[in-house]
């Protein structure tokens, strides 16, 4: 879609980028994205996509602005408290860039509207904070053949990836279910339950916006088949490769998507207690659910079963002794325990609180 003189002037700093140019800017103008959720992740996504010059932006969220949103949902003001988030977000976008077409939906992204909405946009960006919505977005994108720009935050850690996108050879990359095949009955806590530092979802949302721009404008190397993990407390970045699993990618219809009870029955063990178990030679096992590249960087031993292989390798998990599940921050290991409990494997399971990040810091402090 040709750019006007006003648009060329407005986006001049992007257009002069050799890797971007007028071609990519024109492509972005002709494309659209649906942002599901206008919270901590959705706010920076909305503003950076609008500022970059996307043609059409859809925003779906049935929530209203509350005072405890303002420390991280930075497009809202005190005067917006009590307003529909989508109304305040649209107002902010139009004030920033009147060239952008904005469509708002003051409702939840649900099984009833997911496919109809997915069909109207070129991709979907995940701004949600619950597992049910992430699985619904994934499945709607798979059925509709649309890329899914994934983002998630847990305390000081954030994840970003591009699911259901195209690899360099033109084949389809992995989906969200290739990483997490099925949701556990017991979900994971959201920011309302465990807290969040305002800048963390801001940084992750910004990265999601960049990935969306790369996909829409066909520039660079999007995070297809790779999961970016950003631990902001220690300022460490890691990339984990994800393989496509055909047995979980064949989705023909939407399923059931319920937000289950949060982390029900997942016991935790502190780094101090685990260290004591090790020192006294207690009879227990460690199961590390991280990817091989992460284990190669730092490990405390035990059995290595990557999370995306756990469903097919349950026989490796001992049932005659306590088992401590570990990952980098404690998120994936909690998910692993929930998954096993859902399959009626009621072993003596513990989740390492804070993951290996916290354990390593504890050991190094002596």
For residues 179 and 154, the answer to whether their CB atoms sit within 8 Å is: no
Q: Which structure tokens are listed for 238?
A: 């890691």
Helix (H, G, I), strand (E, B) or coil at 5: helix
Give yes or no for a contact between 104 and 128, defined as CB atoms under 8 angstroms apart.
no
* Separation CA 60–CA 184 (nearest Å): 25
Question: What does each C-alpha distance from 132 to 46, 155, 221, 229, 268 come to in angstroms?
Answer: 22, 19, 29, 21, 23
Q: Is 193 helix (H, G, I), strand (E, B) or coil?
A: helix
State how beta strands 157-163 and 226-231 pair. antiparallel
Q: Look at strands 349-352 and 323-326 and give their pairing.
A: parallel
Phi-psi region of 82 (alpha: psi -120 to 50; beta: other; left: phi over 0): left
Q: Which residues are catalytic?
A: 191, 327
Q: Do 30 and 131 contact (CB within 8 A), yes or no?
A: no
Q: Give the span between the Cα atoms of 294 and 333, in whole angstroms.
A: 14
CA dihedral over 154, 159, 160, 164, signed as positive or negative: negative
**Best CA proximity match to 175, nearest among 144, 200, 207:** 144
Chain CA centroid to CA 3, Å:
33
CA distance 325 to 344: 17
| Residue 288: its H or E element | strand 285-288
Neighbours of 87 (CB within 10 A): 16
């Amino acid at each position: 879609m040709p750019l006007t003189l006003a648009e060329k002037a407005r986006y001049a700093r992007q257009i002069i980028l050799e890797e971007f140019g007028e071609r990519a800017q024109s492509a972005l103008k002709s494309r659209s994205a649906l942002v599901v959720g206008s919270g901590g992740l959705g706010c920076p996504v909305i503003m950076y996509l609008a500022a970059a010059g996307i043609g059409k932006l859809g925003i779906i969220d049935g929530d209203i602005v509350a005072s405890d949103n303002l420390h991280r949902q930075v497009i809202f003001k005190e005067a917006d408290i009590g307003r529909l988030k989508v109304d305040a977000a649209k107002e902010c976008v139009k004030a920033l860039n009147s060239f952008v077409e904005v469509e708002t939906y003051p409702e939840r992204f649900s099984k009833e509207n997911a496919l109809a909405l997915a069909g109207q946009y070129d991709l979907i960006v995940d701004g949600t904070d619950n597992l049910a919505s992430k699985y619904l977005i994934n499945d709607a994108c798979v059925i509709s053949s649309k890329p899914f720009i994934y983002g998630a935050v847990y305390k000081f850690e954030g994840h970003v990836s591009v699911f259901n996108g195209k690899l360099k050879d033109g084949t389809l990359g992995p989906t969200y279910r290739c990483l997490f095949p099925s949701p556990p009955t017991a979900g994971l806590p959201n920011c309302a339950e465990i807290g969040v530092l305002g800048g963390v979802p801001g940084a992750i949302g910004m990265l999601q916006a960049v990935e969306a721009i790369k996909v829409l404008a066909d520039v660079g190397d999007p995070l297809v088949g790779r999961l970016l993990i950003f631990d902001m407390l220690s300022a460490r970045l890691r990339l984990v490769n994800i393989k496509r699993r055909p047995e979980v990618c064949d989705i023909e219809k939407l399923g059931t998507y319920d937000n289950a009870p949060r982390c029900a029955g997942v016991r935790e063990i502190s780094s101090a207690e685990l260290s004591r178990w090790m020192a006294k030679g207690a009879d227990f096992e460690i199961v590390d659910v991280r990817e091989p590249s992460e284990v190669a960087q730092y490990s405390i031993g035990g059995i290595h079963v990557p999370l995306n292989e756990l469903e097919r390798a349950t026989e490796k998990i001992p049932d005659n002794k306590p088992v401590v599940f570990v990952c980098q921050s404690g998120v994936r290991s909690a998910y692993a325990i929930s998954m096993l409990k859902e399959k009626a494997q009621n072993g003596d399971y513990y989740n390492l609180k804070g993951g290996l990040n916290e354990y390593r810091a504890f050991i190094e402090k002596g």
